[in-house]
């Protein structure tokens, strides 16, 4: 199948309706970046597959922001190489709900049925794939449409496994590979289930082990020579229990309730024993407390208390003396400060007056004895303002403070001693109250302080004796219970032996099932290996047939001056096919399995284009008999482009070529190189220009037929 026409409206850069005639051997799309070249080719991919994987926005990125209808609509018409059996694919989307229909001479199909019908008509090999739509999309993007921004996906982004899967799809063994992988997944699930069943036998094995232990335990604890208790001992035991306070009724030894009654009695005996043991521990603790309290001395607090009172009185008197002395000293210091201030003021006045003395008083303007006044003022300036030593009072304050500090220290020591005595007395009182409470809790009669220790000791001894009696009674009851149980243990032993035999048979059945599942898993593994080998052989054969074409294309594009040869590398890892490319220098024998180590970015692009074209031209039944190259000028340098053009010129007889470029000169070069050679051939140049919100302006022209391979230009000398 090949393209015949395309109608767009509301798709990406084409907001308004546009129609493109694609019924040609070569379609060259020329337009500056951003004018819609990639949108035009994306429309072809979207019409065929319903998705454009390179667009991260999903369905919402398909619809033009300026679409008048709010939806994207693409109508693609395909015809076979003879121009017959036309197919019209109509796909639309409002960003949420996609719609598709396929029209053939047999009628129109809508919805999911249209997708199935389209796959049947375009590439039937994908119909049996696990995900037919994804298989078709992968085949288109690997061998038909080389997207501008994903030139090297097959070389760099795709893993070796993805490359192998893509080639498997193209050469027709994709279903074999899928079957092998599905069998491998199923086999893993089968193995997991087998392991799970093996794990499920563990509880049964554990149960068999436990049943065996129980059986051996029953056989080992049988008392030889004694089958049942003595009647007289039985009656004495029950009478003793009643005397000990066990609240059970005696039953005859031959009664059916004998075993149950013994169990109840043993539980009560055990409860009484534990209670007696707790009472013994409490009595021992009480006896220890009585001993500790009796050993404590009772100090007299009268003398320390009287000493504290005396010291408090002395401290109060000392504080009063200190307070009076502090008041007297403060008053004396105040008077001294006043005298000093007055003296300093007189000196300041005398100094000031000396500066202003004249024949008359500078203040009252009266005459005075100047010399006598000067001497007096000078004597005032030179006079001392200090207070006489005999007028300073004796300083007794430090001595009084020292006395007060000493008394306060003695008082603190005495108070601490008194508090210690009071605390000891209080602790003794609390201990006595605690002992009295313990007597009440234990049900003991109060006794005098002198003999209560011996009283508690006698009570503890009586409790020990009761514990011994209870232990003996419990042991006797357990022996009676064992003897009674032996009568029914034979039936239990027989039941255990029956259960063990049944479980052994069930375990043998499960082991046989696991063995059969393991054999089935081994057989499945052999089938998986055979499928893997068959797929590998088919892919190897097809790759071997494609490899010469890859080498020819690689050499014509002239990718690298030294590494001029290339080949496919095929292998299997963990059951999955691996496919990669390797370049080599045939002169030196050096081969590089990771071409990125020696090739530049442009050379890697050229290698990717070589692989892409080899898969397109080398596969006998590609999804479409077409090659779509989105602006290779942006990925390859000039030398590689010339080789690519020469290669495309040779391939245009086998494939419909759709090539875009942003360079007008390169577009003209493509038009000339890929011009029609016969009247039946067609080459169309579509020019996209002046993009606006409604889309670009579109013009198309036909390239005239020119069968001449080349022309010679006449020289000026011959003209």
Q: What is the pLDDT of residues 337-382, one digit of tens each?
A: 888 888 888 888 888 888 888 777 777 778 878 888 888 888 888 8
pLDDT for 27 beyond 90: yes
* pLDDT attached to residue 538: 72
Flag whether 462 is in a domain: no
* pLDDT attached to residue 507: 87
Domain final residue pick, 441, 474, 495: 441
Flag whether 501 is in a domain: no
Flag whether 290 is in a domain: no
* pLDDT attached to residue 137: 82
Q: What percent of the chain has pLDDT over 90?
A: 9
Flag whether 5 is in a domain: yes
Tokens of 642: 């010339």
Flag whether 331 is in a domain: yes
pLDDT for 441 beyond 60: yes
pLDDT for 388 beyond 50: no
Distance between the two ends of the chain, CA-based, in angstroms? Answer: 50
Distance from the Cα of residue 402 to its chain's centroid:
75
* pLDDT attached to residue 714: 43
Q: What is the pLDDT of residues 89-101, one digit of tens each?
A: 999 988 888 899 9
Q: What is the pLDDT of residues 647-690, one digit of tens each?
A: 888 888 888 899 999 889 888 988 898 889 888 889 999 999 98
Flag whether 158 is in a domain: no
pLDDT for 389 beyond 50: no
Q: What's 82's domain CATH number?
A: 3.40.50.300
Alpha-carbon span 98 to 533, nearest angstrom? 41
Torsion angle defined by CA atoms of residues 365, 369, 374 and 375, in that order, rounded to the nearest 10 degrees:
-150
* pLDDT attached to residue 285: 85
| Total domains in the fold of the chain | 2
* pLDDT attached to residue 34: 87
Band the pLDDT of 521: cuts 50, 70, 90. Answer: confident
Q: What is the mean pLDDT of residues 535-553?
A: 77
CA nearest to 688, candidates 159, 13, 136: 13
Band the pLDDT of 552: cuts 50, 70, 90. Answer: confident
182 in helix, strand or coil? Answer: helix
Q: Between 690 and 484, where is the model more confident? A: 690
65 in helix, strand or coil? Answer: coil
User: Which of 30-39, 145-154, 581-590 is predicted least confidently?
Assistant: 145-154
Flag whether 711 is in a domain: no
Domain final residue pick, 441, 466, 492: 441
The answer to whether residues 145 and 80 touch, using CB atoms and an 8 Å cutoff, is no
CA nearest to 403, candidates 321, 476, 318: 318
Residue 2, domain extent: 1-144+623-706
Residue 408 burial class via C-beta count within 10 angstroms: exposed 0-12, middle 13-18, buried 19 and up: middle
pLDDT for 573 beyond 70: no
Domain final residue pick, 412, 441, 470: 441
Alpha-carbon span 124 to 95, nearest angstrom? 29
Mean pLDDT over all residues of the chain?
81
* pLDDT attached to residue 172: 59
Q: Between 297 and 598, where is the model more confident? A: 598
Q: What is the DSSP string of 247-286?
A: ------TTSTTHHHHHHHHHHHHHHHHHHHHHHHHHHHHH
The answer to whether residues 78 and 122 touch, using CB atoms and an 8 Å cutoff, is yes
Q: What is the pLDDT of residues 240-284, one digit of tens each?
A: 888 888 887 888 877 777 878 888 888 888 888 898 888 888 888
Flag whether 519 is in a domain: no
pLDDT for 713 beyond 80: no
Q: Which residues pair with 569 in a beta bridge?
A: 580
pLDDT for 169 beyond 70: no
- Residue 367: DSSP 8-state: B
Band the pLDDT of 386: cuts 50, 70, 90. Answer: very low
* pLDDT attached to residue 373: 82
Query: H or E segment at 298?
Result: none
């Amino acid at each position: 199948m090949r393209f015949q026409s395309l109608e767009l409206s509301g798709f990406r850069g084409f907001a308004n309706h546009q129609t493109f005639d694609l019924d040609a051997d070569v379609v060259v799309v020329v337009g500056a970046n951003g004018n819609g070249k990639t949108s035009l080719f994306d429309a072809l991919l979207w019409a065929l597959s319903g998705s454009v994987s390179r667009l991260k926005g999903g369905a919402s990125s398909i619809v033009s922001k300026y679409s008048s209808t709010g939806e994207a609509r693409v109508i693609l018409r395909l015809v076979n190489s003879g121009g017959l059996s036309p197919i019209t694919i109509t796909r639309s989307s409002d960003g949420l709900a996609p719609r598709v229909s396929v029209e053939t001479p047999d009628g129109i199909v809508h919805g999911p049925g249209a997708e199935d019908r389209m796959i049947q008509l375009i590439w039937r090999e994908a119909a049996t794939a696990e995900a037919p739509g994804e298989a078709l999309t992968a085949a288109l993007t690997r061998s038909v449409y080389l997207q501008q921004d994903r030139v090297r996906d097959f070389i760099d982004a795709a893993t070796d496994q993805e490359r192998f899967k893509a080639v498997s799809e193209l050469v027709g063994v994709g279903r074999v590979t899928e079957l092998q992988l599905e069998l491998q997944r199923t086999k893993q699930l089968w193995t997991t289930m087998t392991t799970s069943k093996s794990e499920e036998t563990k509880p049964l094995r554990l149960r068999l082990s436990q049943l065996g232990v129980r059986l051996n335990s029953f056989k080992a604890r049988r008392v030889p020579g004694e089958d049942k208790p003595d009647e007289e001992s039985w009656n004495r035991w029950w009478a003793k229990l009643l005397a000990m306070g066990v609240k059970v009724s005696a039953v005859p030894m031959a009664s059916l309730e004998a075993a149950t009654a013994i169990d109840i009695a043993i539980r009560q005996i055990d409860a009484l024993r534990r209670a007696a043991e707790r009472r013994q521990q409490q009595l021992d603790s009480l006896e220890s407390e009585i001993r500790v309290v009796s050993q404590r001395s009772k100090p007299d607090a009268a003398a320390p208390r009287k000493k504290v009172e005396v010291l408090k009185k002395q401290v109060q008197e000392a504080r009063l003396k200190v307070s009076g002395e502090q008041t007297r000293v403060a008053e004396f210091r105040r008077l001294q400060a006043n005298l000093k201030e007055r003296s300093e003021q007189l000196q300041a006045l005398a100094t000031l007056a000396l500066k202003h003395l004249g024949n008359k008083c500078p203040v009252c303007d009266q005459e005075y004895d100047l010399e006598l006044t000067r001497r007096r003022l000078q004597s005032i300036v030179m006079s001392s303002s200090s207070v006489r030593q005999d007028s300073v009072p004796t300083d007794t304050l430090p001595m009084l403070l020292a006395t007060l500090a000493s008394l306060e220290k003695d008082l603190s020591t005495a108070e601490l001693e008194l508090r210690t005595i009071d605390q000891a007395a209080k602790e003794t009182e609390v201990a006595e109250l605690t002992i009295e409470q313990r007597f009440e809790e234990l049900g003991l009669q109060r006794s005098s302080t002198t003999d209560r220790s011996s009283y508690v000791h006698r009570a503890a001894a009586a409790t020990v004796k009761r514990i011994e009696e209870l232990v003996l009674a419990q042991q006797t009851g357990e022996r009676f219970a064992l003897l009674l149980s032996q009568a029914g243990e034979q039936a239990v032993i027989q039941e255990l032996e029956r259960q063990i035999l049944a479980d052994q048979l069930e375990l043998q059945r499960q082991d046989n099932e696991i063995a059969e599942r393991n054999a089935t898993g081994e057989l499945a593994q052999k089938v998986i290996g055979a499928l893997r080998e068959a797929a590998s052989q088919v892919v190897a054969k097809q790759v071997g047939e494609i490899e010469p074409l890859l080498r020819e294309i690689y050499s014509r594009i002239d990718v690298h001056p030294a590494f001029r040869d290339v080949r496919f590398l095929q292998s299997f890892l963990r059951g999955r096919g691996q496919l990669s490319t390797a370049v080599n220098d045939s002169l030196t024998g050096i081969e590089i399995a990771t071409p990125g180590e020696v090739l530049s970015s442009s050379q890697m692009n050229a290698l990717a284009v070589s692989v892409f074209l080899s898969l397109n031209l080398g596969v006998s039944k590609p999804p479409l008999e077409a090659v779509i190259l989105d602006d290779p000028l942006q990925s390859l340098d000039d030398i590689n482009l010339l080789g690519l053009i020469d290669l495309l010129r040779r391939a245009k007889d086998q494939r419909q070529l759709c090539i875009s470029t942003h360079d007008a000169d390169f577009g003209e070069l493509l038009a000339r190189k890929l011009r029609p050679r016969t009247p039946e051939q067609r080459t169309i140049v579509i020019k996209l220009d002046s993009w606006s919100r409604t889309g670009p302006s579109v013009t198309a022209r036909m390239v005239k037929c020119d069968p001449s391979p080349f022309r010679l230009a006449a020289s000026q000398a011959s003209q």
